Amino acid sequence: MYLYCDQICLPQGRFFDGYLKIENGKISEIRNQKPENEEVIDYSGYYILPGFIDIHIHGWGTGSFINDKSAAAVLKMSKDLPDTGVTSFLATSGAEEIDEIKKGIDSVAEIMSKPQVNGAQVLGVHLEGPFISAEHKGMQREECCLYPDLELMKEFIKYQDQRVVKLMTLAPELPNADKLIQMCFDNRIQVSAGHTGATFEDIKRLKDYGIGGVTHMFSGMRGFHHRELGVVGAAWYFDDLYCEFAKQTGMTVRPEAFALTYKLKGAEKIIMTTDCAGLGQSNRQKYHYIRKITMIPDGEFLIIRHDDGREERYRRDNYEEVKHLEMGYLESVQNMVRNVHPQMHEVARMTAENPAKYIGVFDQKGSLEAGKDADLIVLDKEYELQATYCRGNLAFVKKGE
């Protein structure tokens, strides 16, 4: 199968007018000569970009890893994510009971042990905690924030021959964090600093042990001060650190704060994620202090009670209803684009190339090149999604097209 497009986003910011051939789920060729006697899908006037890679997502739509550690829940995320342009992701845990985290790792290992045919590919697990700072817990559960524990970590990485755990967020100021970071390095797990009260000097000292960046920049970390620059200042100051951003709603991080970071770090060192939770699947009553809502599970429904008393009911297994509960990857990218006006190849850096490099899958994902997985999205110039292909299979198509 061939896709034709006059604007195929290649690496190094080059756009190519030609034909992209898909065979066995991979990009086998990108050429400018028209194929003869072959099926060609015509995307003239559109842009083809590598699919979004979300390395920080707890849940989406009808699936929520943070609420349900089963393989089935993760596969529901896989099914629903192409709708927002995501073609692969890391199932992300939080500060939870140890057995829950282990169960989640088991489920992801199970999925990864078999060929994944449909939907966004599960690339592994992002362990956000449990070795994080209770003081900077944000929406995490305080009672589940632990000090680094090397024995426990060994249990988390029992499938590491498959590289099931690909990313870990931890607080580097905690005791023994340096040893844990080294253990991650030895097991090819990328480490991000997050939910942390580390000082600038802590980050400076430990970053060469293997801290590659920070999790949800600005949130859950020591802020900037001109005499103690904190984690924020370190992330800005050290050119080699990546800044991962949660979805750009404007609520948790003002657009101008993102814009300053974009000016300092450039598209080269920003990673877009959503940090979505799959709120529709909330399994216990919880107050969301930034959105000012209480989520109340009620059988097959979820009730959202706003602080002002309004209530809404959502059918939990209906994607078309629950997808409105939080902002998805695509909409977050659209907001970011309106804010800082990157070029489209810079968007591809922040959404595909950088995350793929960060978690060590750039040999298969993150750019449109022969030999890589055919994970791609078709956008118009307004960043409206026309189609999503996951490993060559059409996984989303805009209605009416």
Is the CB of residue 82 less than 8 Å from the CB of residue 388? Answer: yes
Distance CA 9, CA 348 (A): 8
Return the residues of window 39-68 that contact its own copies according to CB under 8 A: none
**Closer CB to its own copies, 45 or 223, in the complex:** 223
Please choose, from the candidates 251, 247, 271, the residue with its C-alpha nearest in 3D space to the C-alpha of residue 84. 247
Distance CA 280, CA 302 (A): 6
Of the residues 1, 139, 264, 397, which one makes contact with its own copies according to CB under 8 A = 264
Does 273 help bind its own copies (rule: CB under 8 A)? no
**Closer CB to its own copies, 124 or 233, in the complex:** 233
Is the CB of residue 352 less than 8 Å from the CB of residue 360? Answer: no
Rounded (10°) CA dihedral 317, 323, 326, 332 = 150
Is the CB of residue 83 less than 8 Å from the CB of residue 323? Answer: yes
Q: How far is the CB of 19 from its own copies (least distance, A)?
A: 42
How does strand 47-50 pair with strand 63-64?
Answer: unpaired
Structure tokens given for 201: 């000097």
**Closer CB to its own copies, 207 or 316, in the complex:** 207
**Closer CB to its own copies, 147 or 237, in the complex:** 237
**Site track for its own copies across 156-195, x = CB under 8 A:** ----------------------------------------
Please choose, from the candidates 88, 15, 12, 83, the residue with its C-alpha nearest in 3D space to the C-alpha of residue 47. 15
Return the residues of window 205-244 that contact its own copies according to CB under 8 A: 218-219, 223-229, 232-233, 236-237
**Closer CB to its own copies, 1 or 139, in the complex:** 139
Scanning 9-17, 180-188, 247-255, 357-365 for contacts with its own copies by CB under 8 A, the matching segment is 247-255
**Closer CB to its own copies, 258 or 389, in the complex:** 258
Sign of torsion, CA 141 128 340 377? negative
How many binding residues for its own copies (CB under 8 A)?
A: 23
Residues β-bridged to residue 18:
5
Q: How far is the CB of 236 from its own copies (least distance, A)?
A: 6
**Closer CB to its own copies, 142 or 256, in the complex:** 256
Of the residues 41, 257, 296, 303, which one makes contact with its own copies according to CB under 8 A = 257
Is the CB of residue 53 less than 8 Å from the CB of residue 122? Answer: no
**Closer CB to its own copies, 76 or 207, in the complex:** 207
Question: What distance, in Å, lies between the first and last C-alpha atoms of the chain?
Answer: 19
Does 259 help bind its own copies (rule: CB under 8 A)? yes
Q: How far is the CB of 228 from its own copies (least distance, A)?
A: 8
Of the residues 253, 277, 350, 377, which one makes contact with its own copies according to CB under 8 A = 253
Q: How far is the CB of 79 from its own copies (least distance, A)?
A: 34
Does 362 help bind its own copies (rule: CB under 8 A)? no
Q: How many other CB atoms are there within 10 angstroms of residue 399's CB atom? A: 5
Of the residues 72, 150, 260, 370, which one makes contact with its own copies according to CB under 8 A = 260
DSSP notation for 199-261: -HHHHHHHHHHHEEEESSTTTTB----SSS-HHHHHHHH-TT-EEEE----SSSS-HHHHHHH
**Closer CB to its own copies, 140 or 261, in the complex:** 261
H-run or E-run covering 152: helix 150-156
Q: How far is the CB of 210 from its own copies (least distance, A)?
A: 22
Of the residues 169, 190, 252, 388, which one makes contact with its own copies according to CB under 8 A = 252
Structure tokens given for 270: 């920003």
Which residues in this chain contact its own copies in the complex, by CB under 8 A? 200, 218-219, 223-229, 232-233, 236-237, 252-254, 256-257, 259-260, 263-264
